[in-house]
Amino acid sequence: MTTDIFHNAHRYGDMTGWRQEAVELHHQGPVHRIEADGFPPFWAVIGHDEVMAVERQPALFTNEPVPVLTTDAVLQMRDEGGPQIRTLIHMDKPDHTDYRRLTNDWFKPANINSMQARLDELSRVAVAKLEAAASNGTGTIDFNTEIAVPYPLQVILSILGLPEGDYERMLQLTQELFGAEDPDLQREGGSPEETAAVLMDFYQYFTGLTADRQANPTDDLATLIANGEIRGEPMPDLEKMGYYVIVATAGHDTTSASMAEGMAQLARNPDQLQLLQEQPELIGNAVEEMIRMASSVRHFMRTAQEDTEVGGQTIKKGDWLMLNYAAANMDPGYFEDPTRFDVTRSNASKHIAFGFGIHFCLGAQLARQELRSLFSHLVPRLASAELEGKATTGKATFVSGYKALPLNYTLN
Ligand code: HEM
């Protein structure tokens, strides 16, 4: 198989072309063998049903030992004892069950609903930014930098109970971590050593936070993690760190990318914006469609624990499988005309952008509520929106989205 759309970070920089190619690959089968220079061989699982089938069998397809596509060079560093982080997504049963239990309820609707006022406040700030950047109701703004990036980051700072003064630091560290393959985002050359240094910076930051919340507990998520117990024992420091890092990182770039994609789709499809203005009750479904189109978490990896079969392919014990959510959300056998943005799509909410099964996204409810609040506030105010044509996108095989989304708009 010669396609490079799965492992070449640059290919994720043009998602319009990427999606087309993914749709064509579906016609050749749901599972593809990829042998590429610089990476161990792996199977790209792209069929919607096949991704679900793998997710349904977490004992057969484990997240250990390496749950994200990793180069040979980084794997070698890892084997030589380089710094590592252990998060929910690196764990299998029984550890995963115990660690997830710690915060599972915190992320349930009953608790997340209590954040609605904060989300609506941030949505009003977003509208105010559009108003401030307009003269006579017409303006231009980089929607990504001004709205889609700061909004979810403020939410994460709120749930962890961190001060707004830490905004810049968190933003830079997250972008360096997820943008390690992107020359504009990576730290000084993006070498494996530099990526390790980014992790060390996270470590230092959160060590201070743990000490503080142990001495002065509050009702925030950081307090829950800092004082967390697993099987009656204090959670080890490395795992605590993993918990902070996954919440801090998984919680914002992913959501920012979905917000920006949602806005980009509305700008490209004025008929869909108009439909939402006429039928605001469609916003919930539109948000699902935005999250499907964005599929900002492109993949996670699994390792087969036995010889088996997926989508007609023979999988050997030890084989590496990429669950490519972005491609599964473009499965033409599941989503009719999958590259079309359709706010009335009847099965939009059946997307698999949040994964499925025991690792199903912990923050899915929060992310959905953030997008619903933002677009409920924005849609009635946008008389028109148009892309300026200079949108740039991040280049990463794991999580990526827009870097800039210049927008011309007119407000009602
Ligand atoms: C639109 C935004 C988001 C997308 C597309 C997304 C996507 C995903 C995906 C695909 C997974 C892996 C699921 C699997 O393996 O089956 C995941 C896991 C996870 N996500 Fe999200 N996510 C988003 C927002 C968030 C937010 C806001 C948070 C937290 C504040 C969060 C926290 C997590 C955590 C902790 C996990 C690991 C769960 C586990 O392994 O048990 N995510 N997410």
pLDDT tens per residue, range 307-319:
999 999 999 999 9
Q: Report how far ligand 1's centroid is from the alpha carbon of 147 (Å).
A: 21
Q: Report how far ligand 1's centroid is from the alpha carbon of 297 (Å).
A: 8
* Residues 112-119: contacts with CB under 8 Å, at least 24 apart: 112/365, 112/366, 112/369, 113/369, 115/155, 115/158, 115/159, 115/366, 115/369, 116/369, 116/373, 118/155, 118/158, 119/155, 119/369, 119/370, 119/373, 119/374
pLDDT band at 337 (very low <50, low <70, confident <90, very high): very high
Which residue has its alpha carbon closest to ligand 1 atom 20?
Answer: 361
Q: Is the pLDDT of residue 128 over 80?
A: yes
pLDDT band at 246 (very low <50, low <70, confident <90, very high): confident
What local confidence, expressed as pLDDT, does residue 347 receive?
A: 98
Within 6 A (CB) of ligand 1 lie 55, 88-89, 100, 246-247, 250-251, 254-255, 258, 291, 296-297, 300, 325, 353-357, 359-363, 366-367
Over range 216-230, report the average pLDDT: 94
User: Is 7 within 8 Å of 34 (Cβ atoms)?
Assistant: yes
Which residue has its alpha carbon closest to ligand 1 atom 31?
Answer: 363
What local confidence, expressed as pLDDT, does residue 82 receive?
A: 65
Backbone angles phi, psi at 241, to 5 degrees: -60, -45
What local confidence, expressed as pLDDT, does residue 2 receive?
A: 58
**Three-class SS string for 111-176?**
HHHHHHHHHHHHHHHHHHHHHHCEECCEEEEEHHHHHHCHHHHHHHHHHHCCCHHHHHHHHHHHHH
Report the residue among 156, 329, 354 best suited for mutation to probe ligand 1: largest number of ligand atoms under 8 A from its CB.
354
How far apart (Å, rounded) are the C-alpha atoms in residues 402 and 35?
28
Q: Which atom of ligand 1 is nearest to the CA of 257?
A: 1
How far apart (Å, rounded) are the C-alpha atoms in residues 204 and 264?
37
Over range 253-270, report the average pLDDT: 96
Q: Report how far ligand 1's centroid is from the alpha carbon of 298 (Å).
A: 11
Q: Report how far ligand 1's centroid is from the alpha carbon of 272 (Å).
A: 27
Q: Report how far ligand 1's centroid is from the alpha carbon of 174 (Å).
A: 15
Report the residue among 255, 361, 365, 399 best suited for mutation to probe ligand 1: largest number of ligand atoms under 8 A from its CB.
361
What local confidence, expressed as pLDDT, does residue 393 receive?
A: 86
Residue 253 domain-assigned (yes or no): yes
Half-sphere exposure of 103 (CA within 13 A, CB side): 28
Burial environment of residue 301 by CB neighbours within 10 A (0 to 12, 13 to 18, 19 or more): buried
Q: Is the pLDDT of residue 187 over 80?
A: no
- What share of the chain has pLDDT > 90, as a percent? 76
What local confidence, expressed as pLDDT, does residue 189 receive?
A: 66
Q: Report how far ligand 1's centroid is from the alpha carbon of 247 (Å).
A: 9
Q: Report how far ligand 1's centroid is from the alpha carbon of 381 (Å).
A: 30
Closest CA to 287 of 252, 261, 325: 261
Mean pLDDT over each residue of the chain, to the nearest integer: 93
For residue 406, say if its preceding peptide bond is cis, omega within 30 degrees of 0: no
- The residue segments making up the domain with residue 97 are 9-411
Q: How far apart are the first and last CA of the chain?
A: 51
Which residue has its alpha carbon closest to ligand 1 atom 1?
Answer: 255
Which residue has its alpha carbon closest to ligand 1 atom 34?
Answer: 362
Residue 328 domain-assigned (yes or no): yes
User: Is 1 within 8 Å of 8 (Cβ atoms)?
Assistant: no
How far apart (Å, rounded) are the C-alpha atoms in residues 28 and 49?
15
Where residue 119 falls (left for φ over 0; alpha for ψ -120 to 50; beta otherwise) is alpha
Q: Which atom of ligand 1 is nearest to the CA of 296?
A: 5
User: Is 372 within 8 Å of 283 (Cβ atoms)?
Assistant: yes
pLDDT band at 178 (very low <50, low <70, confident <90, very high): low
Closest CA to 292 of 254, 348, 362: 348
> Domain with 317 in it: what CATH number?
1.10.630.10
Residue 2 domain-assigned (yes or no): no
User: Is 32 within 8 Å of 3 (Cβ atoms)?
Assistant: yes
Q: Report how far ligand 1's centroid is from the alpha carbon of 71 (Å).
A: 23
Q: Which atom of ligand 1 is nearest to the CA of 371?
A: 1
Q: Which atom of ligand 1 is nearest to the CA of 246?
A: 35
Q: Report how far ligand 1's centroid is from the alpha carbon of 333 (Å).
A: 25
Q: Is the pLDDT of residue 190 over 70?
A: no
Over range 378-391, report the average pLDDT: 92
How far apart (Å, rounded) are the C-alpha atoms in residues 39 and 180?
16
Q: Report how far ligand 1's centroid is from the alpha carbon of 76 (Å).
A: 27
Q: Which residues of 310-335 are buried (b: 16+ CB within 10 A; e: fewer)?
A: bbebebeeebbbbbbbbbbbbbeebb
Which residue has its alpha carbon closest to ligand 1 atom 14?
Answer: 355
> Between helices 192-215 and 167-178, what is the axis angle to 10°?
140
Q: Report how far ligand 1's centroid is from the alpha carbon of 268 (Å).
A: 27
Residue 3 domain-assigned (yes or no): no
Q: Which atom of ligand 1 is nearest to the CA of 103?
A: 35
Give per-residue pLDDT as tens, 4-30.
999 999 999 899 999 999 999 999 999
Q: Which atom of ligand 1 is nearest to the CA of 294?
A: 5
Q: Report how far ligand 1's centroid is from the alpha carbon of 402 (Å).
A: 19
Which residue has its alpha carbon closest to ligand 1 atom 16?
Answer: 355
Count structural domains, the chain.
1
The pair of three-digit structure tokens given for residue 194, joined into one six-digit string: 């530099």
pLDDT band at 326 (very low <50, low <70, confident <90, very high): very high
User: Is 369 within 8 Å of 257 (Cβ atoms)?
Assistant: no
Residue 4 domain-assigned (yes or no): no
User: Is 170 within 8 Å of 162 (Cβ atoms)?
Assistant: yes
What local confidence, expressed as pLDDT, does residue 248 receive?
A: 83
pLDDT band at 191 (very low <50, low <70, confident <90, very high): confident
How far apart (Å, rounded) are the C-alpha atoms in residues 356 and 343?
22
